[in-house]
Amino acid sequence: MDTILFSQPLSDADLDRAAAIIRGGGLLGIPTETVYGLGADGLNETAVLHIFEAKGRPQDNPLILHVPDAGWLPKFCRDIPHAAYALARRFWPGPLTMILPRRDIVPLRTTGGLETVGVRCPDHPLTLEIIRRAGVPIAAPSGNTSGRPSPTTAGHMVEDMWGKIDGIVDGGPCGVGVESTIIDLTVTPPRLLRPGGLPLEALEEVLGEVAVDKAVVSKLADGERPKAPGMKYRHYAPKAPVTVVTGDAGQSAAYIAAHCEKEAGIICFSEFLPLFAGHEVHDLGPMADLSEQARRVFDALRRFDETPVPEIWAQCPGSEGLGLAVGNRLKKAAGFHIVEALP
Ligand code: TXA
Ligand code: MG
């Protein structure tokens, strides 16, 4: 299949062509502030099936719907609590997905057979405009091939999807870099299913008590089912095995230096780059800059696949703010193989 690359700046005609791909049942790589998505008409079962095929994604793993504003919520969701509108007012457009009961117009193919649907309003002007012109919600998982790190540049989208989909819209590098935070509003108290670009602390300001799903912080036992089906898969996995080292940054750096092989790949905070001279190193950003770490984490994981490193070691931020999401992505890449560096 020929893939069209829509490069910046997009003309009015480009936006129409991109929207026509969605309306015609095609597949389109779309930029968002979190990660790039692999989009299709979320109400068209055949188009949605093609998303699963292009990604190699298990069919029981539901897709989220992208809408241009909260006014679209009642078209696709029932029994919408007050809290949903309060969250939308405060955080949309932005990196927050809400799980709500679905209306019948949303195919079970989209929701992976669930009676609920995830909805979010992405903060990217091109994608918002394409959704409005298409006139339908865009179902979009992250645009990576299943099992690879999520794409945070149009280049990553090209790596995974060139020749497999109708178009890719280049909207520049993603400003947030990790996927949206997912909150389940069908239960009391609301439950965090995936930490992401919106910190848990921000949700708590609006919602009060928020429960945190077990799959966020630990590996599930065999046969245990997480509430977000996607959390059970070992996502974001580089080819080499990953070990995450938690604890004080100075101590985790010293631990890695003492235990890693000579050829090991390293993901470390900028401050510790000199310690790992001679290694294949990816700089996660300054220790105190969690936003920068979120922007870099997937690219760091992805780049190791181009190198022959036999093992990867990663430093890990603490769990405050965006640190919860950055640490979760690193730990999932490691299959929750975690060591705590002690003083
Ligand atoms: O930032 C994002 O959310 C990106 C961009 C493209 O918007 N999208 C994204 O989609 O990360 P995806 O499919 O890679 O991850 C969505 C997660 C999956 O773990 C899925 O299982 C979960 O959301 N999910 C979707 N609908 C759900 C539902 N009704 N109930 C529980 N979990 C759901
Ligand atoms: Mg994904």
User: Could you read off the pLDDT of 180-216 as tens digits, one per residue?
Assistant: 999 999 999 999 999 999 999 999 999 999 999 998 8
271: how many CB neighbours lie within 10 A of its CB?
A: 15
Known binding-site positions for ATP:
57, 61, 116, 150, 194, 236
3 state DSSP class of 131: helix
**Residue 208: left (phi > 0), alpha (psi -120 to 50), or beta?**
left
DSSP string, 135-152: TSPEE--BSSPTTSPPP-
Q: At what angle do helices 125-134 and 12-23 cross, to 10 degrees?
A: 60
Q: How far is the CA of 176 from the centre of ligand 2 (A)?
A: 15
Q: What is the pTM of this model?
A: 0.96
Average of per-residue pLDDT values in the chain: 95
128: how many CB neighbours lie within 10 A of its CB?
A: 18
Per-residue pLDDT of 125-174, as tens digits, reads 999 999 999 999 999 999 999 988 899 999 999 999 999 999 999 999 99
The percentage of the chain sitting over the pLDDT mark of 90, rounded to a whole number, equals 88
CA distances from 316 to 83, 107, 159, 319 (A): 33, 39, 27, 9
Contact 150, 143 (CB under 8 A): yes
Per-residue pLDDT of 242-297, as tens digits, reads 999 999 999 999 999 999 999 999 999 999 999 999 999 999 999 999 999 999 99
Known binding-site positions:
34, 57, 61, 66, 116, 120, 140, 142, 150, 180, 194, 236
* Residue bearing the CA closest to ligand 1, atom 13: 141
Name every residue whose Cβ is closer than 8 Å to that of residue 190 and which is 6 or more positions away in sequence.
83, 183, 184, 203, 207, 210, 211
